Amino acid sequence: MNRTKALSMSQKKDKVLVWIGAEFVHFFLAYGLQKKLDADYYAIIDITNKPKEFFINQTLIDFKQIWFYHDEINNSDNKKPDINFLKGFENKYDINLWNLALNERIFYRFYDFHKFTDDEILSIEEKSIRFFEKVLNQIKPDYFITKQPSFHHLELFRMMCDKSDCK
């Protein structure tokens, strides 16, 4: 086998993880990037249920896997949060979860739709963290494409990507 062929065979494809929100900008960015960069593409989709069908059936981008953020954290098991797990997470990533949560407009005291208890907030945080760690451990992305975080869960994931050497 010649040297060039051996080098090309040993090079792995980059893994690109895209955070897609309701504005679709990053969906189309990934679409254009896929035409220029031969990589494996993955997506976390942070949308409501109505546009979900589009992402399930779309063929424009060859995503290796997609996850719907709200499906991953919305389940009815309202169990007590695992405080030891959350403390371990804060130490591992050097992230203060309450600083993020207290700056989340949905958790804020002026949000009239629902008044979240501390346990509800920590339970949501725990579900998000477990999901995010699952994604990062499963695919080990090289690159993360996202918008400027406007929700604490996106900022949390961005911070986790920074700590895991994802560019």
Q: pTM for this one?
A: 0.87
* Top-confidence residue, 151 or 31: 31
Say if residue 145's pLDDT is above 50. yes
Instruction: Specify whether the CB–CB gap between 95 and 74 falls below 8 A.
Output: no
26: CATH: 3.40.50
Average pLDDT over residues 51-80: 90
Report whether 158 contacts 146 (CB < 8 A). yes
How many domains does the chain fold into? 1
In this predicted structure, which of 47-51, 64-68, 84-88 has the lowest mean pLDDT? 47-51
**Residue range(s) defining the domain that contains residue 143:** 3-163
Neighbours of 111 (CB within 10 A): 12
Asked whether the predicted pLDDT for residue 39 surpasses 90, the reply is yes
For position 7, what pLDDT does the model report?
A: 43
pLDDT at 44: 98
Sequence-distant (≥ 6) Cβ neighbours of residue 114 within 8 angstroms: none
